[in-house]
Structure 1
Amino acid sequence: MNRNLFAACLMLICLWFGLTNAMKNPNNPPTGKTGAPGENTCAQSDCHSGGMFTGTVAISGVPDTVVANTTYTITLKNTSNAIRAGFQLTCFDNANAMCGTLTAGTGVNIGSGASGKRYARQSSPKILSNGSTSWTFTWTAPASASGNKATFYFVSLCADNNGGKTGDNVLVSSKPVVFLST
């Protein structure tokens, strides 16, 4: 009886440690945290909070007007006074459905979410150098989009590099695009 109780307690402790470590998730963070319609951010879902970092998150490489079936190289940049950073990005059309195809780049992977939605995200967080860091990946515009418009939703984590959930904050932004009429 004591052996069974000891084994059960040991299994529960291992499970608890495994789950708490998995929830930190600096590599391949959970999807659906971009602040897009119907989604939270890591700050809103209590993944990270309490940070006092300031800065901006921006994307480049995608013009305001995009051409169907064209591939764009996107760079997402965190400029802040944080020590470490991560990110997540998605693109939805006017019906809040996934728009286009994201392709991984160096230090970036693509995660799947609900309803076929896809997310570019860090494969591991980066240390900022001279107040910034960035990730590069590609997005291919679809043949058409609902309402001929789409919006990129993206966040970047500003972290204190202590491995915990507190002392971090999230930068949130978006970029609307329209499709060139043919």
Structure 2
Amino acid sequence: MVETFQDQYRLAYRILRFSSYLLLGGVIAQFFSCLSAYLIISDSQAAGMLAHILIQHLSYYILGCTFIALSLANVLIKREQYGLRVIRMPALVLILVTATSSFLLIPRMDFLRETALLDGMPVALSPFANYFAILNGLTFVSVATQMICCGLMAWRLSKPRSTQVAPY
């Protein structure tokens, strides 16, 4: 006797795919909003502040969607849907990168910016300029990594699944 599981988890797969598409859309929106802040505002320090605020606020959305997708995938993996193992690593990297940029890098850059402003100069002219540039570069790399991980998750979930058959 052969029992198919294709229709049993169809709703769960749709929710998982939908959350990964929402996640990808959120990360792309984050990238374009940060890019437009740098292109529209002529003051690079103000543009950076706005971009970092956008990254921090959208990080809660990204972390929430990633947690939902990872939790649902883990539940389905425990129910012998082993094809979802391929999204575990991108989801974990996404959580790590998002949390690092939002809770470590950006608050440190805000502190450097405020310290420089208290000394009466912009951060680009302060003694912390090189350190700030390194942190800003790491933040850019983390946004690019977020886009890659989200795209990888959405791409892997959009592939048609083969029929899942449980042998007896």
Q: TM-score range by the shorter chain?
A: under 0.3
Q: TM-score, normalised by structure 1?
A: 0.26
Higher helix proportion: 2
Q: TM-score, normalised by structure 2?
A: 0.28
- Bigger relative contact order, structure 1 or 2 (CA pairs below 8 A, ≥6 apart): 2
Structure label with greater radius of gyration: 2
